[in-house]
Amino acid sequence: MKIDILTLFPDMFSGVFSESMIKIAQNSGKVDLAIHDLRDWTNDRHRTADDKPYGGGPGMVMKVEPADKALEDIKKAGAVVILLTPQGEKYGQKCARELSELEHIVLVCGHYEGFDERIRSLVDREISVGDYILTCGEIPAMAICDSVIRLIPGVLGAEDCLLEESFENNLLEYPQYTRPAEYKGMSVPEILLSGDPKKINKWQMEQATEKTKERRPDLLDNLKFAGEK
């Protein structure tokens, strides 16, 4: 899979993308990550990528020309261009799975007060990571990359573990424990020490359902709707 990121602050990605699973995925050739500085497509000596908005207002607005020129150079046939904006569709696990099945995505990070509205005409999709305000689109881009890359076959190694995680099958993940079996009066449930796979699986499903009912009942509603179709 190939992921290109258009940003005004490329150095923000260096730490996140050079550690842990994302680093391993790159080293193994499972993903090709490229960070591009939008200022490389400006045409003045100050490398101006933003300007004051027409009609007045606070802050600065990202210019359309650098984004357009960058996409002309980077976007290949079949690539899906995604603008990261609070006005986009809300991101979730279903969307992460959809993106993980693509061969090439391009993430465009907004910044400043916003971006020239004409940039919307250059993209295929708009995504928001939630109903809150961030300073920039770089942080959502990192979150999307992490959630997508881990779904690429072979990246995590044990494929079965993906099916048991929170938000898969509209359930939160069941409680997990490791050694020691007892710590400061807190004990691991005996059923997990029983060695009986059927009983353990049943307990895990019950716990996942109860935790979801308590903390995210809306997910169970989604599960009911899916079953009705």
This prediction's pTM: 0.84
Its domain, for residue 208, covers 164-228
For residue 221, what pLDDT is reported? 81
Q: Are both 131 and 51 inside the same structural domain?
A: yes
pLDDT digits (tens, 9 = 90+) for 95-145: 999 999 999 999 999 876 789 999 999 999 999 999 998 989 999 999 999
DSSP bridge pairs for 107: 5, 82
Q: Are both 12 and 81 inside the same structural domain?
A: yes
For residue 202, what pLDDT is reported? 96
- Beta-strand runs (E) in the chain: 2-7, 32-37, 50-51, 61-62, 80-90, 104-109, 114-115, 125-128, 182-183, 186-187
- Helix and strand numbers (H, E) in the chain are 8, 10
CB atoms within 10 A of CB 151: 18
> Could you give the number of structural domains in the chain?
2
Q: Are both 113 and 184 inside the same structural domain?
A: no
Gap between the Cα atoms of 9 and 35, Å rounded: 9
Pick the last residue of a domain from 99, 114, 149: 149
pLDDT less than 70: residues of the chain:
112, 157-168, 222-229
For residue 165, what pLDDT is reported? 55
Q: Are both 184 and 84 inside the same structural domain?
A: no
- pLDDT, averaged across the chain: 91
Q: What is the CATH number of the domain that holds 12?
A: 3.40.1280.10
For residue 168, what pLDDT is reported? 62
Residue pointed to by tokens 């960070």: 35
For residue 208, what pLDDT is reported? 92
